Amino acid sequence: MSYVVESLRQLFGAAPHKPDKEEIGRFASEVHLYKKANPYSKADFEIMYEEHGSGSKKWRNRRWATLIIVNLLFVVSYFFDIQLLEGALTASRFVGFHMADLNSALQVVLAYKHIVLNLVIGTVTVFVLWLLLGGRTFCAWACPYHLLSEWAEMLHLKLVKKKVISNHTFDRRVRSLFYIVFALLALISGYTVFETISPTGIISRALIYGPGIALVWVGLLLLFEVFYSRRAWCRYVCPIGVTYGVVGLVSPLRVRYNVKDCHHEGDCRKICLVPHVLDMTVKGRSAHMNVDVSADCTRCGMCVDVCPTDSLNFVMKGLSKKQ
Q: Are 177 and 104 in contact (CB under 8 A)?
A: no
pLDDT tens-digit readout, 195-224: 999 999 999 999 999 999 999 999 999 999
What is the rounded CA–CA span in Å between residue 41 and residue 61?
Answer: 32
Q: Rounded CA gap, 32 and 24, in Å? A: 10
Is the pTM higher than 0.85? The answer reads yes
**DSSP conformation class of 274:** S
Strand (E) or helix (H) holding 123: helix 117-133
pLDDT over threshold 80, residue 158: yes
Cα 210-107-115 angle, rounded to 5 deg: 105
Is residue 157's pLDDT more than 90? yes
Q: What percent of the chain has pLDDT over 90?
A: 61
Provide the pLDDT for residue 91.
85
Please state which of the ranges 19-28, 49-58, 133-142, 267-276 shows the lowest mean pLDDT.
49-58
Single out the residue of 247, 15, 216, 212 nearest to residue 123, CA to CA.
247
User: pLDDT band at residue 323, thresholds of 50, 70 and 90?
Assistant: very low
Give Cα 23 distance to the centre of its chain.
28
Top-confidence residue, 188 or 322: 188
Query: What is the pLDDT, as a whole number, of residue 204?
Result: 95
- Residue 309 makes CB contacts below 8 A (sequence gap 6+) with 48, 52, 261, 262, 263
pLDDT tens-digit series, residues 168-203 = 999 999 999 999 999 999 999 999 999 999 999 999
Q: Which residue has the higher pLDDT, 91 or 65?
A: 65
Bridge-partner residues for 237, per DSSP? Answer: none
Alpha carbon 172 to chain centroid distance? 14
With beta carbons less than 8 A apart as the criterion, state whether 272 and 305 touch: no
Q: What single DSSP character describes residue 280?
A: G
Asked which of 114-128, 170-184, 186-200, 277-291 is least confident by mean pLDDT, the reply is 114-128
Q: What is the mean pLDDT of the chain?
A: 89
- Which one-letter DSSP state was computed for residue 314? E
Rounded to an integer, what distance in angstroms lies between the CA atom of residue 237 and that of residue 168? 15
- Residue 185 and residue 111 in contact, taking contact as beta carbons nearer than 8 Å: no
Listed residue (171, 143, 161, 167) closest to 240, CA to CA: 143
Quote the pLDDT of residue 119.
Answer: 84
- pLDDT tens for residues 45-76? 666 666 666 667 899 999 999 999 999 999 99
The fraction of the chain above a pLDDT of 70, given in percent, is 93
What confidence category does residue 289 fall into, taking pLDDT thresholds of 50, 70 and 90?
Answer: very high
Does 99 or 221 have the greater pLDDT score? 221
Contacting residues for 90 by C-beta, under 8 A, at least 6 apart: 100, 101, 104, 195, 198, 200, 201, 204
Q: Bridge-partner residues for 92, per DSSP?
A: 87, 99
Q: What is the pLDDT of residue 56?
A: 79
Helices 58-80 and 144-161, packing angle to 10 deg: 140
Tell which residue, 136, 161, 151, has the closest CA to residue 274: 136
Q: If DSSP codes are grouped into helix, strand and coil, which group holds residue 78?
A: helix
pLDDT category of residue 155 using cuts at 50, 70 and 90: very high
Query: Which residues fall within 8 angstroms of residue 277, CB to CB, at 6 or more apart?
Result: 10, 16, 293, 294, 296, 297
CB atoms within 10 A of CB 38: 9
Confidence band for 319, pLDDT divided at 50, 70 and 90: low
Q: Are 254 and 278 in contact (CB under 8 A)?
A: no
- Residues 170, 53: contact at Cβ < 8 Å? no
- Can you tell me whether residue 253 is helix, strand or coil? strand
